[in-house]
Amino acid sequence: MDRETRDMLLETAGRFFSERSGKEVVNGVEKGVWPADLWKEIEEMGLPLIAVPEAQEGVGGTLADLLALLRVAGEHAVPVPLAETTLANLLVAASGGKPASGPTTLALGGGDLSLQGNRLSGKVMRVPFASVADRFVSVVNAGGKPTLVVVARDETSVEETPSHAGEPYGTVVFDNTPVEFSAASAVSADRALELAALMRTMQMAGAADKVLVTAVEYCKQRAQFGRPISNFQAIQHMLAELASCVAATIASAESASRDADEGGLEDGGSFSIAAAKTQCSDFAHRIAAISHQSMGAMGFTHEHILHHYTRRLWVWRRDFGSEAFWGEKIGQAFAKAGRDAMWPALTESRYAA
Amino acid sequence: MSIPKLEFPPFHLPAEAEALRGEVRAFLKETLPGIQTEDRFASWNTPSPEFSQALGAKGWLGITWPKKYGGAERTFLDRYVVTEELLGNSAPAGSHWVADRQSGPLLLKFGSEQQRQAILPRITRGECYFSIGMSEPDSGSDLASVRTRAEPVSGGFRVNGTKVWTSGAHRNHYCITLVRTSGQHGDRHKGLSQLLVDLKTPGVTIRPIINLAGRHDWNEVTFSDAFIPEDCLIGNEGDGWLQVTSELAFERSGPERFMQNVYVLRELIRVLGRQPAKRASAIVGRLIARLWTLRQMSTAVAGLMQGGQSPAIEASLVKDLGTIYEQDLPEIARTLAESDATTEDDLADFLDIAQYATMMAPSYTIQGGTTQVLRGIVARGLGLR
């Protein structure tokens, strides 16, 4: 979509999230209340079908549009699988399937998933929103070829293990489970994981931005020793450091999004995504540490919203590959290629070879 | 939400700039092996007049300046590419660095026609080198407190005072010197001016200040009744503060703020061998991700500047993050090499490199604006002061 249309969509989505996905809704999800109304409205707005071509009953737009929306969703800690569903729908459509309505999630990173005929077996841990999604989408290697599979949740067993942000994550066991849909996948299993990591970087960029705004606003209002604590140089320098970590998070996520979008769904921005997920995950610690320090006990309460964001940063840095996972992949490639390949690779945002 | 959005719009360097990159790489590959330097790993503070002249002959110094002053009228982004290739390939760029980055642009913006004609073509040929005369014994981060005084006399100024940390003054030709030309010490920003000082001027004495690594980069430059002709005043009398702040902007946003010890990362990759352990790979990957991110941020800032914006906060954020990365790098690399270097010889060699980088590291977060000064700028941008 053109710049103007996208900006309008993002503004509308941002306003919608702040009105309909506030503190109570986020806290409710942590207590096990599925916000059915919120999800219904999200579907009515067509958000889960962004980047699905109109010819396939989607609302159109690009991967970049989808990712920009996810940054806004991250900024509001939207506690439903919007990211997972949009990417699942995009993958299903790209593989020739028809996205279904209802919350959907991604069962990725399970190296031992196997497809025999029309039946899937194996286990995937830490599947986001596993217990509330209608179905799981995965990409498995069958006969050496990447195959996209869609499995109804009712056919599986889900052991709920909520994430540390209180979202209904879980372990999904496929035990000779019939698949609802399968097709030659438009992307490899590794690429599906990359795309999922990319969507997390944009959510992290949104959350990081919100943390900065929250901490800055708080310090301007909170008075101690007879003046706002933002008057103290010690606080000013902490918040400036926080801003640098947030800036790096945003910049890396946005760069990876652009590279993925420009390079295409199949393999665009492969290295940039790995680098961005590494960077965003690496800085999550400082962002949480500094923001909490600046807000003292107040920010450590369940009452305050800061934890909606800092806890998600801690969860999201592990989702779809942590800094250790993606860092190892980068480090291995650069070591194998040797020192002289490093600089040229960096200037082209690609793995050294 | 009153704070400004931090945006680093991803920016592609244009095709012409990328084409230039290929030319620069080919030139460096051919030229660098024949250049002797005092440093094992050269950087932007390693001098080599021979190299600077070779670069000038290619037309890559003062690359953005008008042709009538010897420039190539190319874009700021072309300059960015030349700069990062010099750094990425450890070229000894120290002789021309300051002249090309800030002194030349300052003269172009504020200097007289005569000054431009006399100086700029020589810079573009790689023959004329500059020092920065800002800091004094009692004026570091608080630059507006300078005491060096230029008293108007017939035909010029009589200058008295002392500048310190003046890099390269013992081998460079000129020093753009911030002085008080009117008013009193307490007047702060008012009454300051910049003078184009020929370092061979009688009454100018240059003494070495040796740094902790035993290197002679810095000098103390003393002015004792030194006569500076009036045509060496840069811009208007009293505009020194305005000019010096515009000069500092050139100092903060470039890739030299995260790439001056990139050799440490390159050598780390060498000593870990082609198949490092998982943990070692992950640490290297995290360092590479940080460097890549800094480069994305820095090119984004370059894109904003090319588009006519002046992203002062963004530039400060890049320097803050970049110099802290440079400071972390030798430490992370050293501990990793100690556990994972492939051979004892490689380890000994690498520890030597890391030791040198460790000694240089404190300077990164001091020069060109300390971390604390930068954070003050960012805090102001966030509306905190």
pLDDT in tens, A194-212: 999 999 999 999 999 999 9
In the predicted structure, residue A74 carries a pLDDT above the cut 80: yes
CB-based contact (8 Å) between A197 and chain B?
A: no
Beta carbons within 8 Å of A241's beta carbon, 6+ residues apart:
A286, A290, B320, B375
Question: What is residue B215's predicted lDDT score, i.e. its pLDDT?
Answer: 92
What confidence category does residue A300 fall into, taking pLDDT thresholds of 50, 70 and 90? very high
CB-based contact (8 Å) between A237 and chain B?
A: yes
Question: What is residue B250's predicted lDDT score, i.e. its pLDDT?
Answer: 65
CB-based contact (8 Å) between B15 and chain A?
A: no
CB-based contact (8 Å) between A332 and chain B?
A: yes
What confidence category does residue B249 fall into, taking pLDDT thresholds of 50, 70 and 90? low
Mean pLDDT computed over every residue of chain A: 97
In the predicted structure, residue B180 carries a pLDDT above the cut 60: yes
Taking CB atoms and an 8 Å limit, are B8 and A331 in contact across chains? no
Q: What percent of chain A has pLDDT over 70?
A: 100
Question: What mean pLDDT comes out for the span B263-268?
Answer: 97
Min Cα distance A230 → chain B (Å) is 6
When CB atoms are compared, the residue of A240, A254, A327 closest to B289 is: A327
Which residue do the tokens 């194998």 mark? A336
Question: What is residue B2's predicted lDDT score, i.e. its pLDDT?
Answer: 62
Q: What is the DSSP string of A231-271?
A: GSHHHHHHHHHHHHHHHHHHHHHHHHHHHHHHH-TTTTTHH
- Residues of chain B contacting residue A197, judged by C-beta atoms under 8 Å apart: none
Between helix B49-57 and helix B15-31 the angle, nearest 10°, is 140
CA A271 vs CA A205, A331, B90: distances in Å: 18, 11, 24
Burial of A67 (0-12, 13-18, 19+ CB in 10 A): buried
Give first-to-last CA distance, chain B, whole Å.
Answer: 16
Beta carbons within 8 Å of A247's beta carbon, 6+ residues apart:
B6, B8, B297, B314, B317, B321
Residues 52-71 of A with CB under 8 A from B: none
Question: What mean pLDDT comes out for the span A119-147?
Answer: 96
Nearest to A268 by CA among A170, A178, A198: A198
Question: What mean pLDDT comes out for the span B77-87?
Answer: 96
Burial B159-189 (b: 16+ CB within 10 A, else e): bbbbbbbbbbbbbbbbbbbbbbbeeeeeeee
ipTM over 0.95: yes
Q: What is the DSSP string of B108-126?
A: HHHS-HHHHHHHHHHHHTT
Mean pLDDT computed over every residue of chain B: 95
When CB atoms are compared, the residue of A209, A328, A339 closest to B281 is: A328
Looking at the DSSP bridge assignments, the partners of residue A265 are none
Tokens coding B207: 């003494």
Question: What is residue B309's predicted lDDT score, i.e. its pLDDT?
Answer: 85
CB-based contact (8 Å) between A255 and chain B?
A: yes
Determine what percent of chain A falls in helix, strand and coil, rounding each to the nearest 5.
60, 15, 25
In the predicted structure, residue A258 carries a pLDDT above the cut 90: yes
CB-based contact (8 Å) between B322 and chain A?
A: no
Query: Please, how many CA atoms are within 13 Å of residue B112, restricted to the half-sphere of its CB?
Result: 13
Query: Please, how many CA atoms are within 13 Å of residue A204, restricted to the half-sphere of its CB?
Result: 39
Q: A306: part of which helix (H) or strand (E)?
A: helix A306-316
In B, minimum Cα distance to A325 occurs at: B282
Chosen from A339, A340, A349, A350 to mutate, greatest number of chain B CBs within 10 A:
A339
What confidence category does residue B185 fall into, taking pLDDT thresholds of 50, 70 and 90? confident
When CB atoms are compared, the residue of A212, A237, A275 closest to B375 is: A237
- Residues of chain A contacting residue B314, judged by C-beta atoms under 8 Å apart: 247
pTM for this entry: 0.96
Nearest to A319 by CA among A215, A218, A199, A233: A199
Residues 344-383 of B with CB under 8 A from A: 372, 374-376, 378-379, 382-383
Question: What is residue B1's predicted lDDT score, i.e. its pLDDT?
Answer: 46
Q: What is the Cα–Cα distance from A82 to A42, expressed in whole angstroms?
A: 8
Min Cα distance B218 → chain A (Å) is 29
